[in-house]
Amino acid sequence: MKYFYLILLCLFTSIHLFGQTDYKVYSAVPTYAKSIYFSDEFEDNTNEWTIVPYLSDDVRESKIKKGEYRLTSYDKDEVVVEIKSGFGYTDLDDYEIEVAIKHNDYQRSNANGVVWAMSPDGNNAYGIAFNAIGEYYIQELFDGQENDLVPWTYHDAVLRDDFNKITIRKIEDWYYLFINEQFVYMFPFEELHINDDVTGFFAEGTAIAIDYIKVTEVLTDKIRTAPATSSRVAVQPTNNTRALVRTETTNTTVHANGDYYALIIGVQDYIDNSVKDLRFPIRDATRIHDVLVGKYGFTDNHIIFLKNPTRSEVFKAFNTLRANVKSTDNLLIFYAGHGYYDQKVNEGYWLPSDAVEGDDSGWIANSSLSTKLKGIDSKHTLLISDACFGGSIFKPSRSAFANAEKSITSYYEKKSRKGMTSGTLKTVPDESVFAKYLIKTLEENNKQYLSSSSLFYSFNEAVANNSLNAPQYGVLFGVGDEGGQFIFIKK
């Protein structure tokens, strides 16, 4: 199968053009509304893109790093490809596929590109590619035979050392193709079967980075006609012609019907001398409280802030939440303090202020937390533990390729039980690197909607690079997760 796709993509070579086409000229260009159907910004690997570690394969490398999917072909003559099905645009009447790709290294005249509308058997597909010397080309594969639409052609829209935004717009019976919002080509749309949505990226002897891929539904029934005096008029396309159709995006909006609750715990002063006091947990917990209230709309009357609580006080707080949190509400739990992991029983613990070394009867076990979380009927629960925690509370395996509908709205609609921790088996330092970067990311975030996974993958690498711990993020095991995510909503 791998060899087949390499052959398939190597077919993208030289070319003949469609004949001259009579393009319709609009006196006033229609503007269509759009709504997001699928989006992946590569801040995590929820959609299970292939990861091939460095030097584990003689031909390719691929990884997700700093919000990019990075694909490398080691051989100047070797095409490597990453494609997936499940995008779902074959269900839509009209749509756009948008990808941002950057050429990073190696053979600058070689091709980087996008494949879309590929059939599962690989016999039908379209591709658009560019290189790092300012050229692009377009090709069709039909019944296993290549039909070259545009040969390698120089275009000043192609950026040589930055991300190029490739847009494939399907409107009624035509495809319109754009590079960095400049129209480059149009050709007739052929009807697709339901599974003909195999889509992805390829690199020929190059290293590329993909910043995002997005599919939007174009709502052609919602036409806003531009004023007659508008300069946005489409003409027969040339190399510098702007879009035949201008669109505006309808932002996906989360309608949070419930309230946002928080339980914030900082433990640094321990009653028994057998447990060493800490200096910074209450400071970090206070900063978490302040950013939640100041930036994300949590209110003090829905926050329980415990400073140096006993085990009993922590459990009473969970009971209060159980009595007050409704099925439409969202709950964030933050703990900073000592943790302990018992490898013999595979159990992690929080140590409240009345904990005694060697006596786990006064500790708070992962299993006890799971029981308490089961009793709270929230829409979303996010547990953040800045302590040595262990992985026993996390779901032991991840599902296969996730549902393609990955908008913020779909994340919010599905029930979630997620957790993130500063470390697993290693001791967490008093002055927490995890808390530093967690709070910094929350404070500096400019997104209106920030999912828990996006939050974690925005700072986890910084933590790993500056401490001995590897932060963890995952599904809380056995407490009712249904695939959604906790969403931080800016004021």
Contact in structure between 172 and 147 (CB atoms under 8 Å): no
For each of the domains in the chain, give its residue range(s) and CATH number, in order of start. 2-250 (2.60.120.560), 260-489 (3.40.50.1460)
Q: What is the mean pLDDT of the chain?
A: 81
pLDDT at 395: 55
Collapsing DSSP states into helix, strand and coil, what is residue 362? helix
Residues linked to residue 40 through DSSP beta bridges, in sequence order? 213
211-245 tens-digit pLDDT: 999 999 988 654 433 333 322 222 233 333 222 33
Collapsing DSSP states into helix, strand and coil, what is residue 352? coil
Collapsing DSSP states into helix, strand and coil, what is residue 374? helix
β-strand 416-423 against 380-388: which pairing, if any? parallel
Contact in structure between 364 and 349 (CB atoms under 8 Å): yes
Contact in structure between 100 and 202 (CB atoms under 8 Å): no
**pTM of the predicted model, to two decimals?**
0.52
Give the whole-angstrom CA distance, residue 329 versus residue 298.
12
Q: Is pLDDT above 80 for 23?
A: no
* φ, ψ for residue 130, nearest 5 deg: -145, 170
Contact in structure between 259 and 453 (CB atoms under 8 Å): no
Q: Is pLDDT above 50 for 162?
A: yes
Residue 246, judged by CB atoms within 10 A of its CB (0-12, 13-18, 19+), counts as middle
Give the whole-angstrom CA distance, residue 475 versus residue 485.
10
Edge-to-edge strands of the sheet including 380-388? 303-307, 260-266, 330-336, 380-388, 416-423, 472-475
**For residues 166, 49, 7 and 180, what is the CA-based torsion angle, rounded to 10 degrees?**
10
Query: Tokens 């800016």 correspond to what residue?
Result: 490
β-strand 95-106 against 79-84: which pairing, if any? unpaired
Better-predicted residue by pLDDT, 291 or 23: 291
DSSP state of 429: P
Residue 259, CA distances (Å) to 119, 129, 301 in order: 45, 47, 11
Q: Is pLDDT above 60 for 367?
A: yes
Q: Which helix (H) or strand (E) holds 6?
A: helix 2-10
Give the whole-angstrom CA distance, residue 188 versus residue 202.
24
Task: Kindly indicate the confidence band of residue 273, based on its pLDDT and cuts at 50, 70 and 90.
Answer: very high
* DSSP per-residue letters across 372-421: HHHT---SEEEEEEEEE--STTB-SS--SSPPS---HHHHHHS-EEEEEE
pLDDT at 475: 86
422-433 tens-digit pLDDT: 865 545 566 788
Q: Is pLDDT above 90 for 48?
A: no
Q: Give the best-scoring range by mean pLDDT among 22-26, 60-64, 84-88, 482-486.
A: 60-64
